[in-house]
Amino acid sequence: MAINWNTVTGPEVMVDSRKAKRNITRMIDKAQSAGVDLRPHFKTHQSPLLGKWFGPIEQTPIAVSSVPMARTFADAGWRDILIAIPLNPRQLPAYNRLAQELTLGLTIEHADALETIARIQHPVDVYVEVDAGYGRTGMNWRDPQNIYAVLEQAFNMPQVRHLGLLLHAGNSYSMRGTHGIAKIHEESLGRLAELLADCPIPRDALRVSVGDTPTCSRMDAFPGADEIRPGNYVFYDWQQQRIGACEWSDIALALACPVIARYPERDEVIIHGGAVHFSKDFVTVDGKPQYGQVMRITSDGWGGPIEGAFVHGLSQEHGKVKVPPALLKELKLGDLLVIVPAHSCLVMDASKGECTLIR
């Protein structure tokens, strides 16, 4: 369906539903062929409306990264929610309420966290996070005895319904191309296999959850894993395109921003669209941060990238956009630029899940 661009006042988050649904279907097919379950990470869109695209609400397990997000999706009807960020003891009352209502998964990375688990009055699933090289959170894969000790302690707790291992190979984000993604993938899953080889917990009593968008998009097999847990793939973004996790044509989210000033002498226009819309996340091109790539506008959305047209500066509400002279000459005050952001998860968070669906 053709878009009526005249009704867009901007800045506005545009979601191409055809592309997003195609991305969702591809990942469902991928998981099925690989023989793993799929637990999409809903931190990317944070929208119950879009959440319905992933499958029947009551049968779709999901991951989130905060208690407020878990609350949002619990209230909207989801019944299997893993909070994939280390447990915060201050949230005990919220965990208790959620565990009463649904299948709640919690993530821990230290024996201390079991003190909080012990105070939950309903069964919960507990995932022990393993750091297989990313260096953010998780128990170090190099110290398997520590990990086994926590697993055994948890295994014997009456509150713990299912026990799991959780991995996030976020170091795949620093790679370029399928070869680099494969390297991280093999390294993490290799370390996981080592860990599982001597694990005192029976393998079939452990649920192993892995996943990040680059590896889940480009790899076909997930040996050792029971489920994959990617999130960003529903929209993708410029960072994923740079990593090599998607093509430009897969990106399902862009910001429509009106031109509010033109400076031909600086090869630049200013848009209404700033740090509060794009976030200040960026990709690095020729050593410099770029916050968004301008796309060709089409009657029903957007096409490919316009070479040399990108956001190179952001203040709170203003964006500075480099524009090739030929395009700049055509641009009038109030014309829209459609821009793929560096990081779509942060854009959706900034808009609190509000977006305009197209197609």
Site string for its own copies, 84-103 (x = CB under 8 A): -xxxxxxx--x---------
To its own copies, the closest distance from the beta carbon of 23 in angstroms equals: 19
Alpha-carbon distance of 187 to 175, in angstroms, equals 13
DSSP symbol at 260: E
- Any contact of residue 174 with its own copies (CB under 8 A)? no
- Of 129-137, 215-223, 236-244, 292-300, which part binds its own copies (CB under 8 A)? 129-137
- Of 120-128, 130-138, 146-154, 193-201, which part binds its own copies (CB under 8 A)? 130-138
Rule CB under 8 A: choose which of 316, 325, 326, 330 binds its own copies: 316
Contact of 154 with 112, CB cutoff 8 Å: no
To its own copies, the closest distance from the beta carbon of 336 in angstroms equals: 8
- Any contact of residue 330 with its own copies (CB under 8 A)? no
To its own copies, the closest distance from the beta carbon of 136 in angstroms equals: 6
* Residue 237, token pair as written in the block: 């973004």
Alpha-carbon distance of 154 to 161, in angstroms, equals 10
Rule CB under 8 A: choose which of 104, 113, 210, 228 binds its own copies: 113
- Of 4-12, 52-60, 150-158, 215-223, which part binds its own copies (CB under 8 A)? 4-12
Grouping H, G, I as helix, E, B as strand and the rest as coil, residue 208 is strand
The residue to which tokens 């005895």 are assigned: 145
DSSP per-residue letters across 272-320: E--HHHH-S--EEETTEEE-EEEEEEETTEEEEEEEEEEEEEE-SSEEE
Q: How many CB atoms within 10 Å of residue 40?
A: 27
- Of 211-219, 247-255, 292-300, 312-320, which part binds its own copies (CB under 8 A)? 312-320
Residue number, 21 or 262, with CB nearest to its own copies: 262
Residues within window 203-242 making contact with its own copies, judged by CB under 8 A: none
Peptide bond into 11 cis (omega under 30): yes
- Any contact of residue 281 with its own copies (CB under 8 A)? yes
Residues within window 48-67 making contact with its own copies, judged by CB under 8 A: 65-67
Q: How many CB atoms within 10 Å of residue 265?
A: 6
Site size for its own copies (CB under 8 A): 50
- Any contact of residue 344 with its own copies (CB under 8 A)? no
* Residue 202, token pair as written in the block: 């029976």
The residue to which tokens 């105070």 are assigned: 119
* Residue 165, token pair as written in the block: 């291992």
* Residue 144, token pair as written in the block: 């398997």
- Any contact of residue 276 with its own copies (CB under 8 A)? yes
Partners of 125 in beta bridges: 105
Binding site for its own copies (CB under 8 A): 8-10, 43, 65-67, 85-91, 94, 109-110, 112-113, 116, 135-137, 170, 258, 260-262, 266, 270, 272, 275-276, 279-281, 313, 315-318, 320, 332-334, 345-346, 349-350, 352
